[in-house]
């Protein structure tokens, strides 16, 4: 039984490719308990003009006639900073630019269902994380600030203080990491070293002793690496993360 419906926009000028993407969403819905309401657009101008209540997910072609996909999302971000965006492109070098507009991921054409489903599953995990906890911190020199775990990319220990790196900006606090972990208990966070407590929903890749969060790179320690990667795999497979670091 479908328990949840996510709204999806496919912005793709090639009709056959747009139909393939829609078929992939329908196939994924058959394999999971989530359904999708899909709306297709052939160009960025029509997408922006009709954008009202917003979409949970936007699958955006970069090479579009007229307004290209990158500029379309740049304009979208002026009014909606939360919608998850996955770019589809023939050229992998566009991926870095995608992070400038807070893209969640990119996928290189031609797109197989396996590659599509991997990205979609991670995006669904990010959507689920949006329902996590909220808490208040005392910001150094600035009073109080509410932090949403779904917007918190990672917590950094720096000079006996904490820096909360969020999608809305960074906030320095005198709070302890122990207290922050109490606030975030139940949310998908893990230590990649003793200085970084990372939201797994924002991880876009790992390599050796590095963790990638979009255009940011964090270091994994030898001591924490195996446990961090284990928790990341549990998270990506839909399991529950226990904060037992």
Domain boundaries defined on the chain: 4-129, 134-236
Question: What CATH number does domain 4-129 carry, 3.40.50.12280, 3.40.50.300, 3.40.50.2300, 3.30.420.40?
Answer: 3.40.50.2300
CA separation for the pair 56, 124 (Å, rounded): 9
Q: If residue 152 lies in a helix (H) or strand (E), which one and from where to where? A: strand 152-158
56-72 mean pLDDT: 92
Token match 């936007």: residue? 58
Report whether pLDDT(16) > 90.
Answer: yes
How many beta carbons lie within 10 A of that of residue 226, not counting itself? 10
CATH superfamily of 134-236: LytTr DNA-binding domain (2.40.50.1020)
Report whether pLDDT(122) > 80.
Answer: yes
* 11 close to 64: Cβ distance less than 8 angstroms: yes
Q: What is the DSSP secondary-structure string of 11-65? A: E-S-HHHHHHHHHHHHHHHHHSSEEEEEEEESSHHHHHHH--S--SEEEEESS-S
CA separation for the pair 28, 232 (Å, rounded): 22
110 prior amide bond cis, ω within 30: yes
Geometric angle at alpha carbon 165, from 161 and 166, rounded to 5°? 140
CA separation for the pair 218, 204 (Å, rounded): 12
For residue range 160-184, list pLDDT tens digits in order.
899 999 998 999 999 889 988 888 8
For residue range 124-153, list pLDDT tens digits in order.
877 765 556 788 898 988 899 999 888 899
Tokens of 192: 């990649």
- pLDDT for residue 243: 62
The partner residues of 138 in beta bridges, in order of sequence, read 144
Q: How confident is the model at residue 24 (pLDDT cuts 50, 70, 90)?
A: very high
- pLDDT for residue 11: 97
Report whether pLDDT(228) > 70.
Answer: yes
Ranked by mean pLDDT, which of 134-138, 226-230, 240-244 comes out on top?
Answer: 226-230
45-65 mean pLDDT: 89
Q: If residue 73 lies in a helix (H) or strand (E), which one and from where to where? A: helix 69-76
Average pLDDT value over all residues in the chain:
87
Q: Is the pTM of this model over 0.85?
A: no
CA separation for the pair 200, 205 (Å, rounded): 10
- pLDDT for residue 2: 41
């Amino acid at each position: 039984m479908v328990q949840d419906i996510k709204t999806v926009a496919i912005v793709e000028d090639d009709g056959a490719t747009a139909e393939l993407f829609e078929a992939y969403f329908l196939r994924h819905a058959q394999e999971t308990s989530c359904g999708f309401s899909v709306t297709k657009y052939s160009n960025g101008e029509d997408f922006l003009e009709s954008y009202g209540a917003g979409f949970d997910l936007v699958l955006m072609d970069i090479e579009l006639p007229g307004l290209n996909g990158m500029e379309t999302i740049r304009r979208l971000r002026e009014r909606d900073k939360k919608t998850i965006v996955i770019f589809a492109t023939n050229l992998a070098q566009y991926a870095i630019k995608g992070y400038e507009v807070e893209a969640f991921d990119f996928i290189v054409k031609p797109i197989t269902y396996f590659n599509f489903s991997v990205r979609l599953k991670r995006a669904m995990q990010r959507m689920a994380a949006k329902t996590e906890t909220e808490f208040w911190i005392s910001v150094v020199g600035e009073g109080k600030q509410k932090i949403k775990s779904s917007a918190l990319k990672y917590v950094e220990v720096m000079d006996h203080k904490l820096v909360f790196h969020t999608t809305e900006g960074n906030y320095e606090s005198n709070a302890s990491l122990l207290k922050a972990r109490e606030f975030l208990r139940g949310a998908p966070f893990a230590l990649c070293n003793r200085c970084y407590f990372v939201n797994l929903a924002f991880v876009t890749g790992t390599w050796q002793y590095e963790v990638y969060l979009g255009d940011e790179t964090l270091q994994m320690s030898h001591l924490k690496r195996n446990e961090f990667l284990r928790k990341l795999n549990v998270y990506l497979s839909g399991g529950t993360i226990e904060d037992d670091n």
